Structures are given as C-alpha cells and as structure tokens.
Amino acid sequence: MASSSDADKPSVSNVEESRARQCAEFAAVAGTDSAVAQCYLAENDWEMERALNSFFEADMENIFGGEDVPERDPSPKPKRQKVEEKAPKDCIDLTEDSPTPARKPTEEEDSDKLSLISWNVDGLDTDNVPERARGLCSYLVLYTPDVVFLQELIQPYVQYLKKRAVSYLIIEGGEDNYFTGMMLKKSRVKFEESEVVSYPTTQMMRNLLVARVNFRGQKLCLMTSHLESCKAHGQERMKQLRVVMQRMQDAPDDITVVFGGDTNLRDTEVAKVGLPATVCDVWERLGKQEHCRYTWDTKVNNNKGVNFVSRCRFDRIYFRPATKEGVPHLAPDHMALVGLDKLDCRRYISDHWGIYCSFAAG
C-alpha cells in the first residue's frame, strides 16, 4: 500500500506530460525545436523564465558577437525606411512586467501623459555592446515610454530590440551602416504612416525620420534625426535644422509635433537659424534646469576615453503644440537625463545621456 507521502507525489506520466507542455511552450516562444527547449529547460530546473532568459542571452551573443560593425562611410547613400509591423516568432517581451497578455491596463497605460525617451545609443562603439543594449532595455522597463527616438543604431542592435521589446513597433530610418529609429508602444500609440526626408548635401548619411501617429485621440507628428557631427560641419548642420523647423512649422494646426534627437547643435548655430514662434526648446520651456543641461559630458562619462573635458547640450527636444480649437492640446511637463549609472561592465549605455520627457494635457 502506498504511503501518503508517495500519494502526494506527481506520477511519472503527469511529470512527463507537464514537461512536454513546457517544451512545446518554450519552442513556440523561442522559435526553436523541442530538443533545444528540453536542453535549456533541464539546465534551468524546468523554470520557464530562467530557461528563456538563458536562451536569449546566448542568442544575444550570436547577434552581436559575429558581426563586423561597418566603419563610418562619409558618402551619402539613399535610405529606405523599414517598419517592423509584427514581432518575429522567436521573441519574448522582456520590456513588460509580465508576458501574460490577459491583464488589466497599468496606470501608465491609462495615463493621458505622453512620455518619450530620446537617446544616441552609440551603436558604432562595439565595446560591451550586448551589455549596453541590455541596459537600454532595462530603461524601457523602468520608464515604459510611449515613444523612443534612437540614433546611431546598427542592424545587430535593432535585431536585439526586435527580440526583446516586442511591445513596441520599430521604425527604421535606414538599413546600412548606422541610422536612426523610432519605437512606438503598441498599446498606447497607433501608427499611421512614416517617411524618411533626405538632407540633400549631407556627407554623413543623415536624414529626418518622420512618423504620423494617433495618441489617445490626438494627432501627433513625431520626428527624429542625427544632425551632421563635428564643429567643422556647422553650416550643414544649420541647413538640416532649417529643414526640421520648416517641417514642424508646416504641420497642420490640429497636429502636435515633437522632434527629438542628437542635433550636435551649438547655441550660436541655433541663434543664427532661429526657432519659429510656434516651436519651443523643451529644456528652455521647463526652466533650463541645470541637471538636464549637458547630454554629452566627458567630465563624467568616460566611454570615449578622451583626455579633454567637453560639456555640450547636443541632444534636444523641440515641440510645436496643436493650435486648432477643439482638439486636445499637450504641453511639456517634465524632463530628466537617463543612463547616468555605470553598468556592471563599468561603462555607460552610451557616451550620450538619454533624455526622458513627458507632456501633459495643457
């Protein structure tokens, strides 16, 4: 006669059935076969989350480890924008607190505030790039921004984001060398259309990525760019700024326009171009808070290992509110710098700090 303790134990057939289900679930999420699933699950004591994390960490090394990152090519090339409409089969969303689809909306999802992060992630720096990409995703978990503007993306970085951040729609402003991108939180921002606007005389493959979206009944035009780099290219940079400002100014009056990116601008260059009366610099509008002034700061950030101190406000957010009566209006509400803590690899996510910004109903 079986003891009570033996009776409480699951039968061999039940264990096998449970593990078979786990293998099938793992294989469906990871896009692999049951043999690989069984291997990762067994190595992780049949804990699904640990096994999936282990699988994707190994996959991350495959994405980044075997890639030769292209050098900067000074010649301009045509860009073709890409939109990732559907998540690939082999992904799990690690920017969500829970991968379970059936859940109540969070406080952030119910909020009328628009939140965004703009960040030059320095994908051309190949040192510790897997750890730095993982660090970026940790900030997406922390802040759950509705919109993310990214500059200096490379294809391996994008492929990693597509695997990890499947709650976001990813729009690419190019596909070769390095380029800009946008991430739109699918549960909050409805994508309508996008385009890439060329800068005719760029020598650094720069362009303006534009997306038209709907945010909780409000029409938005979102823009990001990486303007020409280096002090010597100020004239070209000002030409590009004029293109941005013209596009912002020309948007219909029922649309709110938000631009964010690595502008490489000096204050004297902005003064020469001038901002339209309808457009504001969000940092200035919020009182020029000193702790948000410098987004590229070699005094603190040692990723580049340079032996000089340079503190610049290269990364900027520009805003043009909708002015038409009867439509919802947003106004700048808050700004902070992100990425100020070193990762375990003793480096920062980027040589730039990211900008977190929110907009509230005005």
CATH number at residue 141: 3.60.10.10
Cβ atoms 296, 354 nearer than 8 A: no
**Does residue 28 sit in the same domain as residue 172?**
no
**Does residue 61 sit in the same domain as residue 101?**
no
Q: What is the pLDDT of residues 296-334, one digit of tens each?
A: 999 999 999 999 999 999 999 999 999 999 999 999 999
**Does residue 318 sit in the same domain as residue 223?**
yes
As a whole number, mean pLDDT of residues 228-247 equals 97
User: 3-class SS at 333?
Assistant: strand
Residue 60 main-chain phi, psi, to 5 deg: -60, -40
Residue 107: the pLDDT is 59
358/335 Cα distance (integer angstroms):
7
Residue 278: the pLDDT is 97
In the set 262, 281, 297, 351, the catalytic residue is: 262
Label residue 79 by pLDDT band (50, 70, 90): very low
The pTM for the full model equals: 0.77
Which one, of 228, 198, 224, 200, lies nearest residue 211 by Cα? 224
Q: What is the pLDDT of residues 156-173, one digit of tens each?
A: 999 999 988 989 999 999
Residue 15: the pLDDT is 78
Residue 5, in any domain of the structure? no
What is the domain-level CATH number for residue 49?
A: 1.10.8
**Does residue 289 sit in the same domain as residue 319?**
yes
Residue 93: the pLDDT is 56
Q: Which residue has the higher pLDDT, 57 or 126?
A: 126
Residue 355, in any domain of the structure? yes
**Does residue 166 sit in the same domain as residue 280?**
yes
- pLDDT at position 88 over 60: no
**Does residue 246 sit in the same domain as residue 307?**
yes
Residue 53: the pLDDT is 67
Domain final residue, candidates 19, 35, 65: 65
Percent of the chain exceeding pLDDT 90 equals 67
As a whole number, mean pLDDT of residues 175-203 equals 97
Cβ atoms 95, 140 nearer than 8 A: yes
**Does residue 53 sit in the same domain as residue 142?**
no
Per the structure, how many domains does the chain have? 2
Domain limits at 188?
82-361
The full DSSP string for 88-135 is -SS---TTSS---SS-PPPHHHH---EEEEEEE--TT--TTHHHHHHH
Both tokens of 42, joined, read 């067994």
**Does residue 91 sit in the same domain as residue 58?**
no
Q: Tell me the pLDDT of the chain averaged across its residues.
A: 86
Residue 280: the pLDDT is 98
146 counts as catalytic: no
Label residue 61 by pLDDT band (50, 70, 90): low
Residue 239, in any domain of the structure? yes
**Does residue 54 sit in the same domain as residue 184?**
no
Residue-level length of the chain: 362
- pLDDT at position 86 over 70: no
298/279 Cα distance (integer angstroms):
30
**Does residue 88 sit in the same domain as residue 186?**
yes
**Does residue 176 sit in the same domain as residue 287?**
yes
**Does residue 245 sit in the same domain as residue 163?**
yes
> What is the edge-to-edge ordering of all strands in the sheet holding 168-172?
82-84, 168-172, 179-185, 147-153, 114-120, 354-361, 330-338
Residue 241, in any domain of the structure? yes
122/129 Cα distance (integer angstroms):
9
Residue 69: the pLDDT is 40
170/292 Cα distance (integer angstroms):
27
As a whole number, mean pLDDT of residues 248-259 equals 98
Residue 314, in any domain of the structure? yes
- pLDDT at position 30 over 70: no
Residue 169, in any domain of the structure? yes
Cβ atoms 172, 204 nearer than 8 A: no
